[in-house]
Each structure stands twice: as structure tokens, then as C-alpha cells.
Amino acid sequence: MTLKTVGTDILNHRNFGAAGLSESLPEKQELQGRLTEILHRISGADPASITPEARLMEDIGIDSLGFYEILIEADTSFGIRIKEEDLLQFRTVGDIQRHLESLDIQPTHAETP
């Protein structure tokens, strides 16, 4: 994955995110689906293998750059900033999902009218 691809993916996902955001926390299933899409695009892993139990590095293939792409996607897609020290503690997809569920996710400033 090149930096150009990452930038294009982020721009494309911003459009997806703007259409899919609601004023409140997305339903758990919707959040899981959006997280699966993000992780699929970052890692190229089969979406069927991206389950809450899947390990980010070992099962999905997220590398150190991928962790930072998750930070960018969280900000772009959900309007939240995940602290770097929190991100580095995540071991599974479920860890990220539980963290996102614990936050009050609002549309980003760029997506509000």
C-alpha cells in the first residue's frame, strides 16, 4: 500500500463516513461493519477474517504504519482522536471496537453543515 493509496482511501472513506454518520453513536453492528471496512482497506485482509477476536498484527496483518492509519481513519471517519498510547495497547479488533463504543462519536467538523 502506498501513501497515495492511503490518501485516496481516506478521501473515499470520508465520503462514506459522512453518509453513514448519525447524530448519536452508531449501532454496534454498524460500528463493527465500518471498522471491518477500515481494517480491510488498511491491511487487505479478507473481511470475513476481521472478527472481534482477530488479532491485529498476527491475524489481520496490521503493521506499525497500519496502526497510524487507524489513527487517521478514526479521526476522519468518526471524528475522534485515539491517543497513540491507547492505540498501541490494542491487540484485537474487539479492543478497538470496545474503545470506540466507549466514546461519544460525533460527526467531524468537516462533515457538519
Q: Each residue of 25-81: pLDDT tens digit?
A: 447 778 888 899 999 999 999 999 999 999 999 999 999 899 999 989 988 888 888
d(CA 113, CA 96): 28
SS3 (DSSP) at 81 = coil
Q: Which CATH number fits domain 3-111: 1.10.1200.10, 3.40.50.300, 2.40.50.70, 1.20.1440.230?
A: 1.10.1200.10
d(CA 33, CA 22) in angstroms, rounded, equals 15
Task: Please state the pTM of the whole predicted model.
Answer: 0.66
The C-alpha atoms of residue 54 and residue 63 are separated, in whole angstroms, by: 14
Task: Give the number of other Cβ atoms within 10 Å of residue 61's Cβ.
Answer: 15
Cell digits of residue 84 = 497513540
Instruction: Spell out the domain ranges in the chain.
Output: 3-111
